[in-house]
Amino acid sequence: MEKISVVVPCYNEEKSLPLFYEAINKVSKKMKKIDFEFLFVNDGSSDNTLNICKKLAKKDKRVKYISFSRNFGKEAGIYAGLENSTGDYVTFMDADLQDPPELLIEMHRLIKEEGYDTVGTRRVTRKGEPPIRSFLTRCFYKIINKMSKVEMVDGARDYRLMTRQVVDSILSMKEYNRYSKGLFSFVGFNTKWLEYENVERVAGETKWSFWNLFMYAFEGIIAFSTAPLWIATFIGILFCIISFIAIVAIIIKTLCFGDPVGGWPSMVCIIFMVSGIQLFCIGIIGAYLSKTYLESKNRPIYIIKEKN
């Protein structure tokens, strides 16, 4: 019998987890010919999430849980889920039911009957989200797709069903700074996109603050593009050309009209602008250097405290 592993990263999801289990259990009953494994990854929750996982595991043999020693972030949860999954197919779902479990039936059909390797999902609406957040997200996708060769789909969720072959290829990338959306596109394979309308959280609160999202976007760009590193070179060339023209103009002006020491305020402005740009470029190099530094330490992506 074929088996699907459902990986669910959970961070402080005591309110949504029981509702999620009910929903996925219903779907699993509809998919009679398939064996299931529910893999809850407790990402260092400070609430009752782990106890709920344990209770569910007692009640249902298909439930497995992994509990981290602290909060490692959703990306680590996804990686741990992939490493510990045993199914022929693996899917990720958020515990807050924002990823409709019923879609799984169609996803499985597409892989099975139409020969896709992976089926992803994307939200076509962003109902219930602040307009400024939606706007910035759209800008981010435009920018990153211009900068990176790997295509990032606007509105793509982490919710997807993959064959074992895809899972193994993702696991072969052992980088520490994981940006899963990019990694999924990087491995390629035949991907089908299912579209659905945004669903709001059943319970609890989102863990993403505005600042977190901003940093996440930044990580995505650093992880999948080296274009920012070229900014310094381009600005440098541009400034050399401008300064050459300016030098020639000033020499001619001084020879013709005299007055070599005017223009102190404009000089201060130029110094400020040039040093600002220099610091900006050093900052970009620093961002890449810090990622390289973290990679070179080879630290584990997650640490397990207990599991069943």
β-bridge mates for residue 123, sequence order? 196
Given the structure tokens 């505005």, which residue do they identify? 210
Given the structure tokens 């402005």, which residue do they identify? 269
Give the span between the Cα atoms of 108 and 161, in whole angstroms.
7
Q: Does 96 bind ligand UDP (CB under 6 A)?
A: yes
Give the range of 94-102, 139-147, 172-180, 282-290 binding ligand UDP by CB under 6 A. 94-102
We find the least distance from the C-beta atom of residue 16 to Mg ion, in angstroms, to be 9
Q: Does 11 bind ligand UDP (CB under 6 A)?
A: yes
Q: Does 94 bind ligand UDP (CB under 6 A)?
A: yes
SS3 123: strand
Give the span between the Cα atoms of 224 and 175, in whole angstroms.
12
**Of residues 208-247, those binding ligand UDP (CB under 6 A):** 208
Per DSSP bridges, beta strands 2-10 and 89-92 are parallel
Selected from 14, 96, 99, 158, the binder of Mg ion by CB under 5 A is 96
Closest CA to 217 of 277, 146, 160, 136: 136
Size of the site for ligand UDP (CB under 6 A): 16
Nearer to Mg ion, 14 or 94 (CB): 94
We find the least distance from the C-beta atom of residue 71 to ligand UDP, in angstroms, to be 5
Nearer to ligand UDP, 43 or 117 (CB): 43
Q: Does 99 bind Mg ion (CB under 5 A)?
A: no
For 167, the enclosing helix (H) or strand (E) is helix 164-171
**Is-contact 42 49, C-beta < 8 A?**
yes
Closest CA to 143 of 129, 154, 131, 134: 154
Nearer to ligand UDP, 180 or 185 (CB): 180
Identify what 95 binds: Mg ion, ligand UDP, none; CB under 5 to 8 Å per kind. Answer: ligand UDP
Give the span between the Cα atoms of 163 and 108, in whole angstroms.
10
Q: What is the DSSP letter of 199?
A: -
Q: Does 207 bind ligand UDP (CB under 6 A)?
A: yes
**Of residues 55-74, those binding ligand UDP (CB under 6 A):** 71, 73-74
Give the range of 89-97, 174-182, 207-215, 236-244 binding Mg ion by CB under 5 A. 89-97
Give the span between the Cα atoms of 65 and 84, in whole angstroms.
10
Give the span between the Cα atoms of 88 and 35, in whole angstroms.
10
Nearer to ligand UDP, 86 or 212 (CB): 212
Selected from 4, 13, 82, 89, the binder of ligand UDP by CB under 6 A is 13
Q: Does 98 bind ligand UDP (CB under 6 A)?
A: yes
Give the span between the Cα atoms of 167 and 82, in whole angstroms.
7
**Which residues are near Mg ion by CB under 5 A?**
94, 96, 98
**Which residues are near ligand UDP by CB under 6 A?**
9-11, 13, 43, 71, 73-74, 77, 94-96, 98, 206-208
